[in-house]
């Protein structure tokens, strides 16, 4: 069987008309204006073209669309909230692909507070899922900056992480079952809500993180958790990144999995948010590094206040923490977190940014950062490194902001020069080039470097098995196989 991705040719007018019949003409978009929101992502790194954007209303529509796509060899690009960061949800420039938007599949089909489960469709906005859980005194723990826009299907397709991974795991850990439409249109109803189910291969975990290349996730049975009785949030100022890892160990020794967020920020990050938003320095003195951390649990509101106070006092006595600001209210705790979320956004205002989403063993975070900073200093001394993020998971967004006054494009043209050393250091430390954003188009060609031939071949074999005509998001995640 030919394993190379076939070159997509444009779907015929007749095929497009048949697609439109499935969704109804008003949900089969073809004009550039109607399609534009589906063809580029918010960082403007990838902009594609499409023959059509389809907006099915339900799983049956998705099934009929894929059946027809498979028969006519039409290439399909599944898309949920279009907040992905690696270009997986954006079609290529050819204009021959069809975007399959899941956003109208936006029902919460069921919520069961006793089972601690929710069945949500792929187009449900993450925040809506969080709110629905909260309405029944439960928690759906995933938290990411784009939660007001991103959708469950994209969270699962990319196996998204975020700030609560530390305590609850990433998207994969929050799923009990899936409903998936296969490339030939068959529907797999795997929406079980079982906590234990050892009956053969774990198929759901093939589709989660596959970025729409193996099937289209249309609904998921999600895990819910008890809503914590208390939450305490603090920002600590630190002299160096080693202190952050020591603080994490100290906090976990007191709270275990109750440490529900642990984010590292350099001074530059605080300054950037202060410059572009109304957020102000939480402490009088500036420190080279900050940790924003949260503990949750307890048995009553404010029951964890003495615990976080003790952690901070102990850290202060041991010289781990220089100073700290403890959120005085829920509103202030929200503001601390808003500052962290805004850091993702405000980078745009400072010009070009070379992005990374790397992970290393937690204890190697200081090494990653110090080696990375040293090498960047040699390559481009005026660049403004911004290594920040989910230090509690060893996941650092080692971003690099352009030098002030430099031409944005001239800076971005140096992407590989700046990125390669960070990747090399990451791999040298036994790390990963994609901790939580996925591979998509951005990192596809790095796969042969980071995967052994046997691992890559297994993935390519699975792709052929699940999608023999290569209609599902071709050219994403996996490079063509040449054997």
Q: Minimum CB separation from ligand MLT for residue 329, in Å?
A: 24
Cβ proximity to ligand MLT: between 138 and 397 the closer is 397
Residue pair 149/125 in contact by the 8 Å Cβ criterion: yes
Cβ proximity to ligand MLT: between 58 and 344 the closer is 344
The count of residues interacting with ligand MLT (CB under 6 A) is 6
Q: Minimum CB separation from ligand MLT for residue 185, in Å?
A: 34
> What is the DSSP code (8-state) at residue 74?
-
Q: Does 18 bind ligand MLT (CB under 6 A)?
A: no
Q: Does 344 bind ligand MLT (CB under 6 A)?
A: yes
Cβ proximity to ligand MLT: between 397 and 443 the closer is 397
Residue pair 160/170 in contact by the 8 Å Cβ criterion: yes
Residue pair 86/437 in contact by the 8 Å Cβ criterion: yes
> What is the DSSP code (8-state) at residue 230?
E
Cβ proximity to ligand MLT: between 41 and 179 the closer is 41
Q: Does 143 bind ligand MLT (CB under 6 A)?
A: no
Helix (H) or strand (E) holding 37: helix 32-39
Cβ proximity to ligand MLT: between 130 and 344 the closer is 344
- Among all chains, which residue has been given the structure tokens 């403890």? 326
Q: Does 145 bind ligand MLT (CB under 6 A)?
A: yes
Q: Minimum CB separation from ligand MLT for residue 345, in Å?
A: 8
Maximum CA extent, the chain: 74
Sign of CA dihedral 143, 146, 149, 152: negative
CA distance 477 to 470: 13
DSSP string, 241-310: HHHHHHHHHHHHHHHGGGEEEEEEEEHHHHHHHHHHSS---SSSS--SEEEEEEEEE-SSTTTTHHHHHH
Q: Minimum CB separation from ligand MLT for residue 14, in Å?
A: 41
CA distance 155 to 172: 9
Residues 73-92 that bind ligand MLT (CB under 6 A): 85
Q: Minimum CB separation from ligand MLT for residue 349, in Å?
A: 14
Q: Minimum CB separation from ligand MLT for residue 362, in Å?
A: 16
Cβ proximity to ligand MLT: between 309 and 344 the closer is 344
Find the binder of ligand MLT among 84, 387, 389, 474 (CB under 6 A). 389
Q: Minimum CB separation from ligand MLT for residue 184, in Å?
A: 34
How far is residue 259 from each of residues 228, 298, 309, measured CA to CA in Å?
12, 12, 14
Instruction: Convert residues 22-61 into a mask of x (bound to ligand MLT by CB under 6 A) and - (unbound).
Output: ----------------------------------------
Q: Minimum CB separation from ligand MLT for residue 388, in Å?
A: 8
Residue number with the shortest CB distance to ligand MLT?
Answer: 344
Cβ proximity to ligand MLT: between 61 and 397 the closer is 397
Cβ proximity to ligand MLT: between 145 and 237 the closer is 145
Structure-block tokens of residue 414: 């140096």
Cβ proximity to ligand MLT: between 314 and 344 the closer is 344
- Angle (CA) 241-246-251 rounded to 5° is 125
Helix (H) or strand (E) holding 78: strand 76-79
Q: Minimum CB separation from ligand MLT for residue 475, in Å?
A: 22
- Among all chains, which residue has been given the structure tokens 């279009």? 82
Q: Does 355 bind ligand MLT (CB under 6 A)?
A: yes
Find the binder of ligand MLT among 397, 443, 463, 476 (CB under 6 A). 397
Instruction: Give the phi and the psi of residue 128 in degrees, each rounded to 5.
Output: -65, -40
Residues in contact with ligand MLT by the rule CB under 6 A: 85, 145, 344, 355, 389, 397
């Amino acid at each position: 069987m030919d394993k190379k991705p076939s070159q997509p040719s444009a779907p015929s007018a007749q095929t497009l008309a048949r697609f439109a019949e499935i969704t109804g003409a008003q949900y089969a978009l073809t004009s550039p204006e109607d399609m534009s929101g589906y063809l580029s992502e918010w960082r403007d790194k990838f902009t594609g073209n499409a023959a059509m954007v389809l907006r099915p209303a339900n799983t049956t529509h998705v099934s009929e669309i894929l059946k027809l796509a498979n028969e006519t060899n039409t290439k399909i690009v599944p898309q949920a909230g279009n907040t992905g960061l690696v270009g997986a949800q954006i079609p290529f420039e050819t204009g021959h692909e069809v975007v399959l938007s899941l956003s109208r599949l936006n029902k919460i089909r069921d919520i069961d507070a006793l089972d601690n489960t929710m069945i949500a469709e792929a187009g449900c906005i993450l925040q809506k899922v969080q709110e629905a859980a909260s309405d029944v005194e439960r928690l759906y723990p995933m938290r990411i900056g784009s939660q007001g826009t991103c959708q469950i299907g994209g969270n699962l397709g990319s196996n998204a992480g975020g700030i609560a991974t530390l305590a609850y795991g990433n998207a994969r850990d929050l799923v009990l079952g899936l409903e998936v439409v296969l490339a030939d249109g068959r529907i797999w109803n795997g929406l079980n809500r079982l906590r234990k189910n050892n009956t053969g291969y774990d198929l759901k975990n093939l589709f989660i993180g596959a970025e729409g290349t193996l099937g289209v996730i249309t609904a998921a049975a999600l895990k819910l958790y008890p809503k914590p009785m208390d939450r305490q949030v603090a920002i600590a100022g630190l002299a160096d990144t080693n202190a952050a890892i020591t603080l994490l160990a100290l906090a976990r020794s007191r709270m275990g999995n109750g440490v529900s967020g642990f984010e590292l920020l350099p001074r530059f990050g605080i300054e950037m948010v202060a410059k572009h938003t109304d957020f102000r320095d939480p402490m009088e003195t500036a420190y080279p590094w900050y940790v924003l951390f949260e503990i949750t649990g307890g048995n009553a509101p404010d029951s964890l206040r003495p615990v976080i106070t003790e952690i901070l006092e102990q850290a202060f006595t041991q010289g781990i923490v220089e100073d700290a600001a403890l959120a005085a209210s829920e509103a202030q705790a929200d503001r601390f977190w808003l500052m962290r979320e805004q850091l993702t956004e405000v980078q745009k205002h400072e010009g070009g940014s070379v992005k990374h989403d790397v992970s290393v063993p937690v204890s190697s975070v200081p090494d990653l950062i110090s080696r990375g900073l040293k090498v960047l200093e040699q390559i481009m001394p005026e660049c403004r490194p911004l290594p920040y993020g989910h230090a509690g998971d060893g996941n650092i967004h080692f971003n690099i902001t352009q030098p002030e006054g430099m031409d944005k494009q001239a800076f971005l043209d140096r992407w590989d020069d700046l990125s390669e050393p960070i990747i090399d250091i990451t791999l040298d430390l036994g790390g990963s080039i994609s901790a939580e954003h996925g591979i998509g188009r951005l990192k596809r060609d790095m796969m042969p470097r980071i995967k052994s031939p046997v691992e890559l071949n297994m993935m390519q074999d699975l792709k052929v098995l699940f999608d023999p005509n290569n209609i599902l998001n071709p050219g994403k995640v996996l490079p063509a196989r040449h054997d």
